[in-house]
Chains A and B, each alone.
Chain A
Amino acid sequence: MSWIRACSADELDDGDALQLPTDPPVAVFKADGEFYALDDTCTHGLSSLADGYVDGAQVECAWHLAKFDLRTGAALSLPATKPLCTYRVRVDGGDVSVEVPDRV
């Protein structure tokens, strides 16, 4: 695992997300003032969760409307049944960094 810089803290508003070009891609979300980092690819339909709709600490997949918990990665509704991996986030000065898996 290694830490990479994702964005500056003021780049994301509540409800915003961005996709990191890592392998696998990781999405960084801001919800209710907190930053979260999870796998970007929905465990059901392969869409990018950074395109999803953030509501409270949940993101809804933009294609088939599965919901995930941003804090734990848990799949909260069909059609998804498998959880997402979550990654550690650090806000340091004005920078948001994420600990991502090393490329395999």
Chain B
Amino acid sequence: MHRSSCVIVGASAAGISAALALRRLDYRGTITVVDGDPHPPYERPPLSKALLDDTTGGLVPIVPWSTYADLEIDLRLGERVTAIDPGALKVHLGGGEQLDVDRLVLATGVTARHLALPHADADNVLTLRDATDAARLSAQLARGGPLVIIGAGFIGLELAAVARQRGIDVTVVEAQPRPLANIVGPEVASLVVDLHRGHGVRLITGATVERFAATGSTVEQVVLSTGHRLDTATVVVGIGVQPRTELGTSARVDVDHWGFPVNEFGQTSRAWIFAAGDVASQAHPHLATRGRLEHWDTAQRHGAAVGSTVAGEPVRYKEAPYAWSDQYDATLQIIGRPRGTDQVVIREGATPQRFLAFWLRDGRLAAAAGMDASREIGIARRLVASTVLVDNAVLADAATDLRALLKPHRPRSPEQLAG
């Protein structure tokens, strides 16, 4: 009998979760996961939370190495997929080999955007996306500062925190008037800015890079649109990402501005080809418009949902997105996606080190963000998933036990429903 074969491109959050879900649901075919990265599949979030030379024990594996052999998941690491042949049902690898395929999962993620400026490829201008980048960055920062970070997104701010904790002089340059404001709104963004300023980060907003002044292949100064000239030993560019949709052409699947457009089951425009994780362009109920969800947990859950669908148990992916970001000694956590039209409630007593914010939409909790408030965020996640009506004064009250808001909405017992 013909054995079905699933090929997954990308051995990271989404790809590995898809493979694990396939086996959990007793998928009988072969599973091959291909990744151009030679390292055994590892977690990306730790790469911006500490330097790789720390005593952190190096890369954090997604699952123990033996799992792959135990589950008969064939890993092809250090090999790139160069093309898909949908007519012949083949996946082409860089080395010339061809793999049979009847279910394909594209979990190719995103790459860091680069600045289109002279010297943007200098030896000390770096981006951070994978283990190789992290090793380069660690080596570079071991020589000390000053460090200039272009772009105050999560990764840029996490690196700023890591560098400040090592006493390195840090300047962060952000084009917007406030970092993260698009993600968490101006109120919470201000708290995060205060946290970084309090730790000695110099933040220059409303500024872009005009040019790099270099000697040989080393950038020595960053010249900004505001006229600032920043001396630098290392520049990290964190100005956003681009989806890795190169395989869309040969596979002849649709590609849009965000990535591979998929339906709620992760299917692309070709029924046997799926896309999962950062590279998927989703019409997700928590997104105001079609877009990407770019977080570790969302990529894992989306991958698992797609793996389940491929195994024959279709799962719609619609849970509220969850993201975390470590800033100094605290964790910033975000559930859902705040919108400008939501009503914002900041819980009384907020400080840059510890706060809790809620966004209400139609009287219900649509999103929440917290710093050093993980217990409350766990409950807020259930409130977002529920249909409980919430009151802003109650949420703002620091004495409110959030769990109590959830209790009346526990599933009702049959007696209660009958009564």
Chain A interface residues toward B at CB < 8 A: 15, 47, 51-53, 60, 62-65, 78-79, 81
Contacts and interface: CB of A to CB of B under 8 A. Distances in A.
Interface residues of B, number: 22
A55 B322 CA distance: 18
Chain B interface secondary structure, helix, strand, loop or mixed? Answer: helix
A53 B378 contact: yes
B378 A78 contact: no
A63 B17 contact: no
A15 B333 CA distance: 21
B375 A62 contact: yes
B297 A65 contact: yes
B269 interface: no
Contacts of B322: 65
B324 interface: yes
B342 to A, nearest CB: 23
Contact of A79 (B43, B333, B377, B379): B43
A60 to B, nearest CB: 7
B377 A62 contact: yes
A35 B322 CA distance: 30
Contacts of B57: none
A51 B297 contact: no
Given A63-B324, A65-B297, A52 B378 contact: yes
B331 interface: yes
Contacts of A53: 378-379, 381-382
A60 B380 CA distance: 13
Contacts of B43: 79
Contact of A47 (B300, B374, B381): B374
B62 interface: yes
Contacts of A51: 374-375, 378
Nearest to A15: B403
Looking at B17, B43, B64, which has the most chain A CB atoms within 10 Å of its CB?
B43
B389 interface: no
B300 A79 contact: yes
B398 interface: no
A78 B300 contact: yes
Contact of B64 (A47, A63, A65, A81): A81
A64 B378 contact: no
B63 interface: yes
Contacts of B378: 51-53, 60, 62
A4 to B, nearest CB: 24
B371 to A, nearest CB: 13
A49 B331 CA distance: 15
Contacts of A64: 296-297, 324
Interface in B18-63: 20, 43, 62-63
B214 to A, nearest CB: 40
Interface in B366-386: 374-375, 377-379, 381-382
Nearest to A59: B378
Contacts of B300: 78-79
Interface string B376-418: 0111011000000000000000000001000000000000000
A15 B331 CA distance: 23
Given A79-B43, A81-B67, 12 more contacts: A47-B374, A51-B375, A51-B378, A52-B375, A53-B381, A62-B374, A63-B331, A64-B296, A64-B324, A65-B322, A79-B300, A81-B64
A27 B390 CA distance: 31
Interface in B319-343: 322, 324, 331, 333
A15 B377 CA distance: 15
Nearest to A51: B375
Looking at A65, A78, A79, which has the most chain B CB atoms within 10 Å of its CB?
A78
A16 to B, nearest CB: 9
Nearest to B17: A78
A63 B374 contact: yes
Interface in B272-313: 296-297, 300
Contacts of A47: 331, 374
Interface in B185-224: none
Given A62-B377, A63-B324, A78 B403 contact: no
